[in-house]
C-alpha cells in the first residue's frame, strides 16, 4: 500500500517552481502525481510531453496557462487538461504568493 502525507515528500526546487512528487513514476505503472508550487513572478518554461496526458487541479493562487496558441487565467477550484504533443507553460503573475496546483500525468 502507498499512503503518505504531503509533508513527507522532499522538495525538488527547480528555480521557478518547487515540486513534491506525491506519486512518482517509479511507484506506479503509468501515473505520476505532483504538487507544484510556482514561485511568485516565475514561469515554468514552455515544453511538450510526447506520450502523456496531463491534468492540473488548481489549489491556491492565480496562474496564467499558455496552451497551444491560447492563454487562460487559472484560479482555485479549476481543472485543465493538457493533451499530448501540446506546448504549454505556466506563469505566476503574483509578486508575493505561490501558485499551487496538483498535476496528474498518465502516459502511454
The ranges assigned to domains in the chain are 26-88+101-108
Q: Centre a 10 Å sphere on the Cβ of residue 35 and count the other Cβ atoms it contains.
A: 18
Find where cell 488548481 sits: 58
pLDDT of residue 107: 84
In 39-87 the beta strands, taken as DSSP E runs, fall at 43-47, 52-60, 62-67, 70-75, 79-82
Please identify every stretch of the chain with a pLDDT value under 70, giving residue numbers as ranges.
none
pLDDT of residue 38: 98
pLDDT of residue 25: 73
> Which architecture, in CATH terms, is 26-88+101-108?
Sandwich (2.60)
pLDDT of residue 42: 98
pLDDT of residue 108: 81
pLDDT digits (tens, 9 = 90+) for 37-66: 999 999 999 999 999 999 999 999 999 999
Q: How far is CA 3 from CA 9, 11, 21, 22, 77, in A?
A: 12, 18, 13, 10, 24
pLDDT of residue 91: 98
pLDDT of residue 28: 84
Which pTM was predicted?
Answer: 0.92
Amino acid at each position: 500500500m502507498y499512503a503518505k502525507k504531503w509533508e513527507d515528500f522532499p522538495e525538488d526546487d527547480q528555480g521557478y517552481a518547487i515540486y513534491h512528487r506525491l506519486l512518482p513514476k517509479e511507484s506506479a505503472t503509468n501515473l505520476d502525481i505532483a504538487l507544484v508550487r510556482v514561485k511568485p513572478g516565475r514561469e515554468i518554461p514552455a515544453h511538450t510531453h510526447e506520450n502523456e496526458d496531463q491534468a492540473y487541479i488548481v489549489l491556491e493562487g492565480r496562474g496564467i496557462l499558455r496552451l497551444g496558441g491560447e492563454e487562460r487565467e487559472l484560479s482555485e477550484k479549476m481543472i485543465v487538461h493538457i493533451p499530448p504533443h501540446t506546448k504549454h507553460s505556466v506563469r505566476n503573475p503574483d509578486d508575493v504568493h505561490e501558485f499551487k496546483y496538483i498535476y496528474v500525468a498518465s502516459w502511454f
